[in-house]
Structure 1
Amino acid sequence: MVVLSLRLLIVGVVVSLTSAHLAGEIIDKEDLLKNRLKEYGLITPISTDAEGHFLSHFLSANHKQRVKRDVLEGSAPAPDRLFFNITVFGKEFHLRLHPNQRLVAPGAMVEWHDDIEIAGNATDNRTHFERILKRELLKTDCTFIGDITDVPGASVAINNCDGLAGMIRTDSDEYFIEPLEQGTQEHEERGRVHVVYRRSAVLQTPSDISLDYQPIEPELDTPRMLDNIAKQVNKTVRRRRHAGDEDYNIEILLGVDDSVVRFHGKEHVQNYLLTLMNIVNEIYHDESLEVHINVVLVRMIMLGYAKSISLIERGNPSRSLENVCRWAFVQQKEDPEHSEHHDHAIFLTRQGFGPTGMQGYAPVTGMCHPVRSCTLNHEDGFSSAFVVAHETGHVLGMEHDGQGNRCGDETAMGSVMAPLVQAAFHRYHWSMCSGQELKRYIHSYDCLLDDPFKHDWPQLPELPGINYSMDEQCRFDFGVGYKICTSFRTFDPCKQLWCSHPDNPYFCKTKKGPPLDGTECAPGKWCYKGHCMWKNANQVKQDGAWGAWSKYGSCSRSCGMGVRFRTRQCNNPVPSNGGQDCPGVNYEYQLCNTDDCPKHFEDFRAQQCQLRNSHFEYQNAKHHWLPYEHPDANKRCHLYCQSKETGDVAYMKQLVHDGTRCSYKDPYSICVRGECVKVGCDREIGSNKVEDKCGVCGGDNSHCRTVKGTFTRVPKKAGKTRGAFLLPKGARNVYLNETADSRNVMGYLKMFLIPPGARHVIIQEHEASPQILAIKNQATGHYVLNGKGEDARSRRFIEMGVEWDYLVEEDVETLHTDGPLNDAIVVLIIPKDNETRSTLMYKYIIHEDSVPLNNNNVIQEDTYEWALKSWSQCSRPCAGGFQYTKYGCRKKGDNKMVHRGYCDVNKKPKPIRRMCNLQDCTQPQWITEEWEHCTKTCGSLGYQIRTVRCVQFLHEGTNRSIHSKYCNGEKPEMRRACNRVACPAQWRTGAWSECSVSCGEGVSRRLVTCRIGDQCTGEKPESQKPCRPRPCHDEPCGGDKSIFCQMEVLARYCSIPGYNKLCCESCSRRSGTFAPLLHEAAETEEELRFGSASQLLETLSAAANGSLKVPQQHQRGSTSQGQFSKQAATPPPRKHNTENSKTQKRLKPSTRNLPALSIHSSWSEDGVKDAPMQLESFQESQWPTTSSEVER
């Protein structure tokens, strides 16, 4: 299982914060974030148009945007597209999103279940039943997917039901974004704070991962369930509609327990779950998987508390998974055609179902099986999407990378099926082994082949008017109450539809159109092509066909790329009798006069705006109109112009001329009949060929040079003069002329030139200065920026056929354009005093052939190119397949392969295809493996299974598994019953008794019985066995050494070696048992020793007679012989006997002053006594007489 212990889910954090607030607590959200994340950022996303221009702070689908209308109508994005700008750790991302219309199936429902408690009788417990509290359609209008502008390979999965929440993935990292708190429309109006963090930034504790669960099929208790399974297995083969050979759809039942619902809150949990599944779907769309799998929600169930607790058995993942799979089986819709019939169940919980660190549990290769196609997942934030994807991968047949395959080296790079996901990896991917394992099984999962988004819609009638009368069509055209006009009659009612209202029947209206074809116009007749004609079921349809093309017309421009057209008519023949119109368009166009104009460059759009200067009035005034590029890409082929005087933008109410460039950012794509047509730099329509940084078409930047420098100049102080030249005496007709490039005209001071052809130009002041930056076109002398009388203010404008961005911020000016410059520009400053020096930094990129001579500011940059790396695997193992080239990015300087991000994705070569594996294919065959062992040896539930595959044998001796539809004949059975016989009776045995003797040879016995008379099978187990507790003493008995030995009450101590030796004669006559006193002594806490053998017997006798008295405690260290003393307050450490691993125990305080016994007890691992106490053998001469000797 994947270990992604993401402990921070900001939505969850917010719910926690809200709950804490309700409880009267004050929680610092910043501190909470710092405790959960190593790094995070707080940002305020904005809604933008397609170009990234600000629209509003409204983000949520349920918040109606109130954007102020301005002159630029239609600046808001289209409803099916959303655009947002966010800043992620200093990187500006422009998100381009479109609805994920294949995440929620049509008719998918969400159910809220509740628990009903029914009281039982006096002996029964209370019973809980489930009921459906609420049922409604799943939301489908706020899950989006998309990409990021200018970030190749990026993907986004976002939910905007309440703010922005989801995953943003680039080639270098993965991020999660969520609103810091649930908001209102007023909050969004002011801007709403979101938190963004890397997936690797979550603070977590790595832990070992348990092995994945590969359970056998759970035993279902009733024959009815077995029958249902059989029916479902059979029905699964007959699924609905095929989704296509390359498309698989996993229809999901999402089960959510009460712990998840309570954590996220009932009002927010549905949005969160849709976001989570949107991320799971995006993970399965990663190109590294090489199989297109859609994750489709068909049903979502929120469980009640009691049911949630009953399904999850804490610390028992196997039982919990079995419970969840059974529950999902019960929820299944039996009809495979039902819109809520699921292929796979995903269950989410926040309860701990396994050891610490376990995040998921799933069977392997259980997809489409009625009771094995399910996963159990610990929900812990958006990173749980990777847990769900990982566990579902197991069900699809994928193993852990590095376990039984060769992909162990991919785990450290973030493979989805890694056993332990590293916290520091920057992006996920599916390993090569995961893809191969998936392809091995995917063809056998028939339930994934249908498409839940395809429906059998009723076929429309061939003629649309069949179902609508003329009266109904009048109501559609003019409103309620209108009917066919009856105040006058027409020769043919099918020529035009005339309608009138009963309130004014003599006032008839028409929209100058005929009734629909098929409309009844007279008994037995209908309207067809404007004529009332007899109905004829056998009327022959005539489809239309195109006539010949006309010649091309004139070109729309004389140079600089124009367009010319030719047309055709649908008249060969004309469609009739309900026949189809001609397919395609009736015109074609081609580029013409594509060469650049020989004269000075002129902006074609600017020319069209200038033509309006003399006659187009806006707000009762005439203006000087400048070109304007509309931010909405759909309106760039409409002519918009901007007033030089006021900055207002006005629509000129016409399209731009054919051949006008769509955008100043694209020098080749042009407008044709109001639509932008993609043109490559090779001047071919539809071409994707683009220029490199310095204008080489299809180039690799190898000829580009970067020029960078700093220029400083100080104005000359007034009053100082210097001689320039001498005129000879007598000179006549003398003319003096000061060039514009060297003089300070109108206060301008020249700094430097930037040559034509420069691109990506940046000019910036080094520091704040009162001087003002100005730009002049060297060829025309026209001031591009800050001419005479202009204010130095930040703005975006179009001059010289390119777009410029001018920014003034705290007296620091910056000017930028992507170019290319068609003419050289002169960079000047307008000094405000004669003391302050002016320093400008500049940088631009230019082709190496256009670099100014003697320029020492050229910087050599690294260049990269796409290079052939390898060929892909053949698409077919036989009968002719295809393989394609794979390209990598290579550094030109040393020919080393680098990350593909260094190369321009737009310049990646198209794959080259070649044939492979041309040998013929053999006929596929059914291959069966051996039956597995029966699950039971007897009873009614035994079964066995085997693997059945459709296999195609290849010429090189190998084979491959293919889809079962390619094998002929009926598929062999994969499961059968076995050992369905009654189980025989079994012998039952009791526990062994104690040995019959205390030493020497004895017998131990047990009870052996048969439950059914004498019908038990097998040999009867033995009922007795020999035993030998210990060897008996060999030395002869010299008789009892004390009169106490004859006391019957002391006979139980004969098993004690010391006592047996003293009373050998009495003990030999009877078999003793262990004294209760010694059992009591075994539980004592202190160790004491006896003083003499006589004291032992006296003590035992007193204990037996109940007359034992405890003497007074003697002073420490002065006990005389025959007396006994407790050891010092600190007892000696316990001694361990290495032979029998027994632990010394001490007498209870009630017997604390008895003559000392050394008592031993042996203990089992669980702490229960398993052997009797034993008294050490002793001799009177060896007994200590003083406490000091005892301590030694």
Structure 2
Amino acid sequence: MLGLGLAPQPRHRRQLGHGAWTHWGSWSACSSSCGDGASFRTRRCIRFPEEEPCKGKPRQYRVCELDDCPAGSIPFRTIQCSLYNGKPIMESQTQYQWVPFHGAPNLCDLNCLAVGHNFYYTFGRVLDGTRCSPESRDLCISGQCLRVGCDGILGSDAQADACGICNGKNESCIFVQQVFRAAFPSSGFFGYKNVTRIPAGARHIKVTDHSRNYLALMNANQRYVINGDWAIDWPGVYEVAGTKVRYTRTADVHETLETTGPTLEDLLVMVLFQEHNSGIQYQFWVPREQFQHIQNDASPLRQPQTREVVEDPLWELQHFQQATATPHVQNPRDASRNRLQAELTPAPGRTPAQSGRCRKCNTPKGKSQRIHHYCQSDFVFRARILEKRYIGQETRYDVQVKHTYRNHFPIVHREFVWVSNTCDCPLLMERREYVLMARRHVNYEHTFNRILLQHGSYARPWSPREDLQLRDVSKHCLQR
């Protein structure tokens, strides 16, 4: 009898997939005691013989969070090169002194240049935690240059978005991009003019100009940090507002200000006019909570001295009266000011002083008044009066700012100071220097943003004694 047999079936190897990692262990001690350094942690792969090895790496490195090394400390790579000072290399008995060489292809080799000679030698790999190059935060690990991710992990693909959020989606900040197109005044006057204010916290700032004009930068303390005081600085990197600003200028009049930020204080971008403005482009990312602040207070102090000069006095008077016309719904303070101005309205062709309709000026004097007005003012500065001009019911002084003592808003070298009367009160003489304590004036219609000397404001002739008395007044404001 023939038996019926079954053909043997092939035996398939059961696929169990990949093994599983254990939890990460604790981080090791840092490879350095200050400055750059790296630490690592490990994990184990648990798998059956049939399983594939685990995906990923069993060791992970991160940047240590250490304090900066003391000033004058020797860089880590320099120390490693110096360990071979006086030791022979290969068959040569010459004793060399070694310093780091950064021009070799492999950044993580210990490439050292022989002092006084034109060759370098490679002493193997650098130690883990050594910077790949002086300008980079990336570190060498096992002979490989690993990029530092925004999560602090070496070799990580994590990247910060434009808002500075690790692995973010640019949702917590807003991109601002505009072109400043103010025209060069036809009168030929050249000087500084505000371009824009960049608020604290801004990132990825870039300002570009293609003209013979010069970009300038002022910090929150109203001090020029680049191209100020009518002096042009060399291109380079400048420490500004807690970050590094790179200033470039090429022979073909291409000029830029760039920084990745974030800035720790407001910055004021300005331009020193020399010729027609072809358009200054600026862009930056700003936190959302700061964007509304930009919209509400984007305009810095207006500087009419850098706009075109109006040659028709009648047109200028009509334009001024239209700009200051009482609105349908007005602020009570504006109404009170309008009544005061009506009382001081001069007869045709005559100023109130000439008509005998001015009140006696109230001139503050003494230490207590000086402190009171100083602490209540937005601007305290020394100024030289260049020109006085009556416009409508007000007096406009063209002044040269010589020194600032206290400023809540940016102020530049040439400004207009306004007085809400034509009674020469306070009395300011041309070509004389004064200490002025003024307020920022933004009217109810938001058509003016300027420096205003109110009735009874502190305005005293400048003198070395007056200057000395103002030096320590600010401490009294804190006590108040």
Give the TM-score normalised by the residue count of structure 1: 0.15
Larger Rg: 1
More strand by share: 2
If asked which structure has higher relative contact order (CA below 8 Å, sep 6+), I would say 2
